[in-house]
Amino acid sequence: MGAAVATARAAVAAVLASAPHTSDTELTESIVDAEALARLVQSLQANLVAEADRRSLARAQGARDTATWLQDRLKVDPGQARARVEVARSAAGPSRKALSDGMISLDHARVIAACVRKLPGTAAGEAANVERVLTEQAQRCRPSDLRRLADGVNATFDRGTAVRDEHAQFESRELHYITTDDGTVMIKARLDKESGQKFIAAIRPLSKPCPAADGEPDPRTPAQRHADGLATLVDLALGSDRMPRVGGQRVQVQVSVDYDDLVRSLDPQAEGVVPGVFTDGTPITTDNVRRLACDAGILPIVLGSDGVAVDYGREERTAPPVQRAALFRRDGVCAFPGCEHPPGTSQAHHIRHWLDGGATDLDNMVMLCAFHHRTVHHDQWNIVVEKGRPAFIPPARVDPSRTPRPAGAARTTLHRQVNRGLVPPPRQPVPTHN
């Protein structure tokens, strides 16, 4: 065995020292060949681990079990060690042959072995057929896809166990959240498969990439997009009439801000502007108070110089359902040039801010997704409505000429106008003479 390994090592070393590949096709074929070689070695190791397990070699050397022994001897993670033992203990069937032939990976083989092991006694006669079918499918899909198929096979043959497993998932559900010292909120959750699928279905369309202000691809990381998607999901929940009421009132987040500081914050160079505060005392800059006051479940409480509330906000600052429907009909989705945020998730932004006396009407409002709502506020984009259509004027750093850009994703009205232009005008009736 030692001599064979030395010969194999020498052959691999010679390949590594050879000239680089001259064509993309040759390089691709070599990568596939190397993977087949690695799988052959994994199959060989599985046979050796099976023999070590049969001899109880781990116990003889003071280890608790074969997986723990492998973890220490090979310096691999526990999951990898358990995977190798599970494959080693499986019968020498079609999956083991496919592994040695390089047709499937060790992860595929582990999924197949686990599925066959979990079959109930009443399905013992089907084990060979199950392994054959899964081995065929493994050559066409990734281990994660094969795992879902195998779970379905086990649920088919053992419904009772599948029901108990799903119940155990539900019982293990948990969600924790804490507010850190700087006011950010940390969330950790474990959801059962049903709730998890609902969450994924809800957050995926809300986390799609959006174009950046300069037309480049979305600069956010996937994790940042998911966080923004969750924020939008929360806004939708707070705006829903199905949310429970507290003291007869809709659930609201309150933020208090001094009127003088709010006015001074209009000057981006102003210093010493005292931030607003949420009800728990967490501070938030007046710049963001102005954005939050546009829409969503935020109730701004404006304080006078003596600290007494001079304005508690008014419900009219948020677009009522009929007006929101009209905004959606005009803007389609998020009106920011090039954005295609999912319908129904955009926020109604006041062009002239509500806190500055801006009216809540169509000529002073535009639909923006949360990402571009923040962009407009923070990057000082100007918006004008010309002939009933919004146009966006970029800041000088994005476009020195500050050329207005028409709302890019608002296609509903545009398409209707195009269609109307394509339809020939109705012919006038030909007069008839009696």
Q: Which two tokens stand for residue 425?
A: 């005008």
| Gap between the Cα atoms of 285 and 158, Å rounded | 58
pLDDT of residue 281 exceeding 60, the answer is yes
pLDDT of residue 40 exceeding 80, the answer is yes
The model's pLDDT over 216-264, given as tens digits with 9 standing for 90+, comes to: 788 889 999 999 999 888 888 877 777 776 555 566 677 777 877 777 7
| Gap between the Cα atoms of 19 and 248, Å rounded | 78
Angle, helices 193-203/222-238, rounded to nearest 10 degrees: 100
Mean pLDDT in the chain?
Answer: 79
Query: What is the average per-residue pLDDT within 14-18?
Result: 78
Nearest CA to 278 out of 190, 416, 200, 179 is that of: 179
Q: How many CB atoms lie within 10 A of CB 341?
A: 25
Letter string b/e over residues 179-192, b meaning 16 or more CB atoms within 10 A of that residue's CB: eeeeeeeeeeeebe
Distance of CA 234 to the CA centre of its chain: 15
| Gap between the Cα atoms of 279 and 179, Å rounded | 14
Q: Which two tokens stand for residue 179?
A: 């507010």
| CB-CB contact of 134 with 175 (8 Å) | no
| Gap between the Cα atoms of 320 and 358, Å rounded | 15
pLDDT of res. 235: 81
pLDDT of res. 200: 92
Q: Which two tokens stand for residue 408?
A: 């890019």
pLDDT of res. 354: 60
pLDDT of res. 418: 53
Q: Which two tokens stand for residue 175?
A: 């969600």
Q: Which two tokens stand for residue 20?
A: 């680089």
pLDDT of residue 131 exceeding 80, the answer is yes
Nearest CA to 257 out of 275, 273, 271 is that of: 275
Q: State percent of the chain over pLDDT 90.
A: 23
Lowest mean pLDDT among 168-172, 177-181, 278-282: 278-282
For the chain, give the longest Cα–Cα distance: 117
| Gap between the Cα atoms of 291 and 124, Å rounded | 64
pTM of the model: 0.59
**394 class by beta-carbon count within 10 Å (0-12 exposed, 13-18 middle, 19+ buried):** buried
Choose the most confident range, by mean pLDDT, from 171-185, 271-285, 307-321, 391-405: 171-185
The model's pLDDT over 396-422, given as tens digits with 9 standing for 90+, comes to: 888 888 888 887 544 444 444 555 556
Q: How many CB atoms lie within 10 A of CB 330?
A: 20
pLDDT of residue 313 exceeding 50, the answer is no
pLDDT of residue 329 exceeding 80, the answer is no
Q: Which two tokens stand for residue 283?
A: 């501070």
Which DSSP string corresponds to 134-201? HHHHHTTS-HHHHHHHHHHHHHHH-HHHHHHHHHHHHHT-EEEEEE-TTS-EEEEEE--HHHHHHHHH
Q: Residue 332 — very low, low, confident or very high, per pLDDT cuts 50/70/90?
A: low
Measured between its terminal Cα atoms, the distance across the chain in Å is 112
Query: What is the average per-residue pLDDT within 67-91?
Result: 90
